[in-house]
């Protein structure tokens, strides 16, 4: 037990200090090359302008770099490679025990993290240097959704074909066998989680809630004796905390797509890893643990549906809903900290429900 605890918390601590140490270099690079949007504001999903949002954020988006999410995944990669190299060069019982990269538990989430990070970084760079109409233009939403869908299909196919998983866990020890439909179901869950990535809109908000998400799943994986996966989640937490150290108001940089795409896609994979494969209910509690992402996505859907079928009438002043609270006059730090509290409460609830089975 003690060895497993050290295996989880040791690499996580290392990841945090790696992130803290590399951030000054990354920050210098981001500011030196002015890697921020050249015009503030955004266009809504339905193609319309967002005057309330643009007014709220007119001085926030220009002058603050994007690509801050690189701190997270670079920290994870450096930590994982460092421990792996040490375990090969000095193959003692202790160093081998710390190595958490394994084919059975962490290859898939690790690969997903890297793919999401790279694709997200390409989108960020395109948004910074490209121009398309009113604001800088990154990848189109359709292209990003297509990429996320393809990754979800590949992951689902791997679970279905290589790991022989075609069911999801239900309460009271039951499973729902989806057969071949497990693959598109996997992709749909990943798409839904990714759509909540727009929560990265207020200083400190995304970093705080993602810390809770991955901490909760580290606990779930640990309880299911998926120690390598628990260590991986904890290492991600360490990287996020290093990012958050510099992202709390006033933010030195934003997480942006390279962070949110990587984290939402990886969170989906981790949820499935702790489900039927791990003998648990990781997927069942995902909407509870990640309720801020669920709320964010649903508020967007509600807003778009209302505008379409109610002659342009809106439910929220601005969507997603965290910007609605800003528009009501809440200070951004109040929105952020209340989301943190909400995440912690529901993270604990989801963890307890997963452990109860």
State the Cα torsion 117-340-298-328 to the nearest 10°.
-120
Q: What is the pLDDT of residue 136?
A: 47
Which element (helix H / strand E) includes 175?
strand 175-177
Euclidean distance between CA atoms 164 and 212, whole angstroms? 30
Residue 33 φ/ψ, nearest 5 degrees: -100, 10
Write out pLDDT tens, residues 130-186: 754 444 467 889 999 999 999 999 999 999 999 999 999 998 888 999 999 999 999
Q: 3-class DSSP state for residue 106? A: coil
Q: Is the pLDDT of residue 44 over 80?
A: no
Locate the domains of the chain by residue range.
2-356
- Percent of the chain exceeding pLDDT 70 equals 92
State mean pLDDT over 114-141: 81
What is the DSSP track for 252-306? SS--HHHHHHHHHHHHHHHHHHTTGGGTS-TTTTHHHHTHHHHHHHHHHHHHHHH
pTM for this entry: 0.94
Q: 3-class DSSP state for residue 227? A: helix
Residues 6+ apart with CB under 8 A from 217: 233, 267, 270, 271, 274, 282, 289
Residues 6+ apart with CB under 8 A from 173: 357
Euclidean distance between CA atoms 242 and 255, whole angstroms? 12
Q: What is the pLDDT of residue 147?
A: 97
Euclidean distance between CA atoms 241 and 204, whole angstroms? 10
Residues present in the chain in total: 357
Write out pLDDT tens, residues 231-273: 999 999 999 999 999 999 899 999 999 999 999 999 999 999 9
Write out pLDDT tens, residues 209-237: 999 999 999 999 999 999 999 999 999 99
Write out pLDDT tens, residues 48-75: 556 665 566 656 667 899 999 999 999 9
């Amino acid at each position: 037990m003690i060895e497993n605890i050290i295996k989880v918390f040791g690499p996580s601590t290392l990841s945090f200090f790696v992130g803290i140490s590399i951030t000054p270099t990354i920050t210098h690079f981001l500011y030196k090359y002015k890697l921020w949007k050249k015009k503030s504001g955004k266009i809504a999903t339905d193609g319309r302008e967002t005057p309330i949002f643009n007014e709220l954020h007119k001085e926030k988006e220009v002058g603050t770099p994007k690509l801050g999410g690189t701190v997270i995944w670079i920290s994870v990669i450096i930590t994982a490679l460092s421990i792996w190299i040490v375990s090969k060069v000095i193959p003692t019982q202790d160093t081998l025990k710390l190595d958490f990269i394994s084919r059975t538990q962490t290859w898939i989430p690790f690969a997903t993290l890297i793919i999401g990070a790279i694709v997200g970084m390409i989108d960020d760079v395109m948004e910074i240097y490209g121009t398309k109409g009113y604001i800088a233009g990154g990848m189109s939403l359709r292209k990003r959704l297509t990429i996320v869908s393809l990754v979800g299909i590949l992951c689902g196919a791997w679970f279905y074909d290589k790991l022989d998983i075609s069911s999801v866990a239900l309460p009271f020890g039951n499973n729902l066998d989806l057969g071949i439909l497990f693959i598109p179901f996997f992709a749909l869950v990943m798409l839904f989680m990714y759509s909540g990535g727009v929560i990265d809109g207020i200083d400190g908000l995304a970093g705080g809630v993602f810390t809770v998400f991955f901490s909760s799943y580290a606990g779930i994986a640990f309880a299911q004796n998926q120690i390598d996966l628990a260590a991986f989640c904890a290492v991600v937490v360490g990287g996020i905390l290093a990012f958050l150290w510099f992202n709390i108001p006033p933010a030195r940089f934003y997480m942006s797509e390279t962070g949110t795409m990587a984290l939402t896609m990886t969170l989906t994979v981790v949820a499935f890893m702790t489900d039927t494969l791990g003998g648990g209910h990781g997927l069942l509690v995902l909407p509870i643990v990640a309720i801020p992402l669920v709320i964010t996505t649903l508020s967007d859907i509600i807003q778009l549906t209302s505008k379409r079928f109610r002659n342009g009438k809106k439910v929220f002043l601005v969507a997603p809903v965290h910007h609605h609270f800003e528009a009501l006059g809440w200070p951004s730090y109040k929105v952020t900290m209340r989301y943190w509290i909400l995440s912690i409460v529901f993270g604990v609830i989801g963890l307890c429900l997963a452990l109860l089975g």
